[in-house]
Structure 1
Amino acid sequence: MPARAEDGVGRRIAYYRSAARPRMTQQQLADAACVSLGTIRKIERGERGATEATLEAIAEALGVDAAHLTADRAPFRTRVHEALPALSAALATYETPVDGPVRPLPELRAAVEQAVDWRLAAQYTRIARRMPELLAELARAYHAARGAERLELAALLVRAYRSADAVAFKVGAHDLSARLIELMRWAVPEADDPVLSASVAYVRTETFLAARAHAAGLRVLEQALDTVPAPVTPEHAAMKGALHMRAAVIAGRARDAVAAGAHLREAGAMANRVAEDVYCGTAFGPDSVKAHEVSVAISLGDEHVGRALAIAREWKPPKELPAERRSGFYIELARAQLWSSLADDAFESLKVARSIAPQHTRQHPWVREDVARLRRLKRADSEGLTNFAEWCAAT
């Protein structure tokens, strides 16, 4: 249902756009929200209303809660949450999908590539809207295919499930995330691709992280490392390095500094053999390993936190890294700063994270926890911090 033009939505959009730092032009807002410049101009002038989808896209681009743009500040239910039942329904029919159209393989391939790009850019709303239909279509295509085409469709299913899982895991739907991971494990043998199998082991770690079963997760990753092909190609080296990188993080969560350090060193050795890029859906390279050094230091805590701050003084994630990874770096850096009594710095880092990937930042549980603590400390600008807390639902 469109928002009424007289409700002042356009005036609020113009206010938040002008208040952004740096100030955002109408064209920049239109580009970030993926709507036309004419639409932004008409909404701001009050000449037309905005649908919920448009309003949410604009709010994400501005880095504010969509409720801040409405007149009554009523709770705003996101499209991501609304899409979860449809996503569950698509998974329930993976073996017997309902009848429907199936696009040619090149078009399906392009649709999955787009979903992967959205995942890396933390565009969870777009994934949630498109994924139920895409998964059903891929299942229809897979069950009707034979030979080499069936192998590729199995691989496409795995990659699509992974994009859907990014949404489920980030919004805390851990049962749905576990179901998606099981479907990845079901489909990947059909793809006959050892690198893709290793990527599923990488993602499977989410199940152990959610359950805080860190030691078990580390064993699974180390078993997967034994099955990865020798790193004779950049793709094989990157996948092996990514598994070591992930193992370092989960070893850090288990407070096993020795194992974490060993896996980081192995990841670094693999990173020195490849260029920073996205391999089989996972970003890997020297910069990704550097970002994970910060993550590991924070997971280990105590005397290791200083290492995270030292890295951040000398290095920042370049813009070439996927948005989700860059925002994650600043979220984790904020926690290290907060622990080190650098409350103002922590709030600045959280604002940077939001500017990079609003959806990722808003859904991250650490953000809500740390913003709530910052409010108790009252060390940052009260109005700005209150607005941020409302945006991410910190209590």
Structure 2
Amino acid sequence: MPADSKREVGRRIATIRHARRMTQTDLARTAYLSLATIKAIERGARAPSDGSLESIAAALGVDPGRLITGDTITLSRIRMAMPAISASIAAYDIPMSPPRRTLSELHAAADEAVNWRLAAQYTRIAKHAPTLLDDALRSLHHTTGPDQRHAARLLVGIARAADAVAYKYGHHDLSARLIELMRWAARHAEDPLVDASTAYVRTETFFAAHAYAPGLLALEQAIDASSSPTGPEGQAVLGALHMRAAVIAGRAQDADAADTHLTEARRLGDAVPEDEYHGTAFGPDSVRIHEVSVAVSLGSDHVGRALDVASEWTPPGDLPAERQSSFWIELARAQLWAGLTDDAWESLQVARLVAPQHTRGHPWARETAATLRRLRRADAEELTAFAEWIGAV
């Protein structure tokens, strides 16, 4: 059992259960546990085993990391999964045995993995990614024509989910290999939208290497290749590329390029609904979040831009949890630079509530927590606990 008290874990479970409008009987039935076990866990009389915790989390539709704050479930299991993910893609270009799932079964599993990524449920991705990647590769190698193109698109989505875990938990070499797998699979998909989505993700390799100018060039080449999109899906993909280009331009300290790409992203964002999705959520709300990200990327001199956005708008609850969490983490950084330490601390707590695993793996959240701990005296005990949880001490 992690460092949380049994009572704290039980309280979190009960709170989320109430939010889902589930009774204890509903939860017990869905989690395949006895009603007496659920009651004992919620009142803090019993600590859930790892297996019980996973069952309860699955029944509530959250990651186990939402229920606990310790290392046992999240970090250790993700670390253990990395070699298996690496092995599953080692021979990606060599045909292996026939697939074990039909394409429709693989499609359903791939959709589930994408939903886990959007909800920042990384332990679930890590657990299932090796098998999913293996099945998708088998399907691609043992199909032809439209079925092969379909399998290639599914492989791109699954590899991206696995990459989200590898990149966010610092396994950048594996992340780069997964991105190369995506680029290879995209050629088999023969779909310009898949190519553009893959170019969006490839930017991670430039972020990891701090190679911001080449990364901006690569994105601008992808934007040129995606010119004149037709329909909301194409506009959303192009808009997402502009959002990403604005952020990496900010990291490169190229304010003019950042503003140019943000302007294009706003224009395209106004033309599509917020729930338009093709690998990356895009719409007016997503653009606003990236405005904050660009301001923070440009540095402390631009902090006012981030605070202006936050003064009149916060992310709606139906946006992907990972994207909401990013907003609060980046806003916390801006608030810290502006001397608003109480506000920065509150923003970090919101980020953790929305997507604990994403927050814990974000270097800016870690840096902000460490700085706040040095500066603050109020709430010292709670802040220290947070800093220990995120690895800032």
- TM-score above 0.5: yes
Distance 1:319 1:65 in 2: 25
Q: CA deviation at 1:357?
A: 0.4
Distance 2:250 2:355 in 1: 25
Distance 2:164 2:296 in 1: 22
CA shift digits 1:55-95 (9 cap, x unpaired): 4758622352256xxxxxxx985311111111001011323
Match of 2:193 in 1: 195
1:124 aligns with 2:122: yes
Q: Secondary structure at the match of 1:320?
A: coil
Consecutive unaligned residues of structure 1, counting only runs of 5 or more, are 4-8, 68-74
Residue 165 and residue 59 in structure 1: after superposition, are their counterparts in 2 closer, same or farther (change >3 A)?
Answer: closer
Give yes or no for contact 2:100–2:135 (8 Å, CA) kept in 1.
yes
Given residue 146 of structure 2, which amino acid in structure 1 is its aligned partner?
A
Match of 1:345 in 2: 343
Give yes or no for contact 1:65–1:392 (8 Å, CA) kept in 2.
no
Specify which of 165, 174, 177 is matched with residue 175 of structure 2: 177
| Superposition TM-score, scaled by structure 2 size | 0.89
Identity %: 56
Given residue 209 of structure 2, which amino acid in structure 1 is its aligned partner?
A
Consecutive unaligned residues of structure 2, counting only runs of 5 or more, are 58-62
Match of 1:225 in 2: 223
Distance 2:259 2:3 in 1: 52
Distance 1:195 1:316 in 2: 29
Pairing of 1:324-339 with structure 2 (within 5 A): 324-339=322-337
> Number of residue pairs matched?
379
Give yes or no for contact 2:335–2:341 (8 Å, CA) kept in 1.
yes
Larger deviation: 218-227 or 78-87? 78-87
RMSD: 2.7
Distance 1:238 1:25 in 2: 33
Residue 97 and residue 224 in structure 1: after superposition, are their counterparts in 2 closer, same or farther (change >3 A)?
Answer: same
Give yes or no for contact 1:108–1:138 (8 Å, CA) kept in 2.
yes
1:15 aligns with 2:8: yes
Specify which of 212, 217, 236 is matched with residue 238 of structure 1: 236
1:62 aligns with 2:67: yes
Q: CA deviation at 1:13?
A: 2.6
CA shift digits 1:281-329 (9 cap, x unpaired): 1010000001100000111123311110111010001112110000000
Distance 1:312 1:257 in 2: 20
Residue 10 and residue 374 in structure 1: after superposition, are their counterparts in 2 closer, same or farther (change >3 A)?
Answer: closer
Distance 2:373 2:242 in 1: 37
Give yes or no for contact 1:253–1:300 (8 Å, CA) kept in 2.
yes
Residue 284 and residue 379 in structure 1: after superposition, are their counterparts in 2 closer, same or farther (change >3 A)?
Answer: farther
Give yes or no for contact 2:236–2:282 (8 Å, CA) kept in 1.
yes
Distance 2:8 2:238 in 1: 48
Specify which of 250, 253, 261 is matched with residue 251 of structure 2: 253
Distance 2:344 2:258 in 1: 25
Distance 1:147 1:177 in 2: 29
Q: Secondary structure at the match of 1:24?
A: helix
Q: Secondary structure at the match of 1:134?
A: helix
Distance 2:319 2:344 in 1: 21
| Superposition TM-score, scaled by structure 1 size | 0.89
1:24 aligns with 2:15: yes
Given residue 215 of structure 1, which amino acid in structure 2 is its aligned partner?
A
Q: CA deviation at 1:24?
A: 2.2
Distance 2:4 2:295 in 1: 44
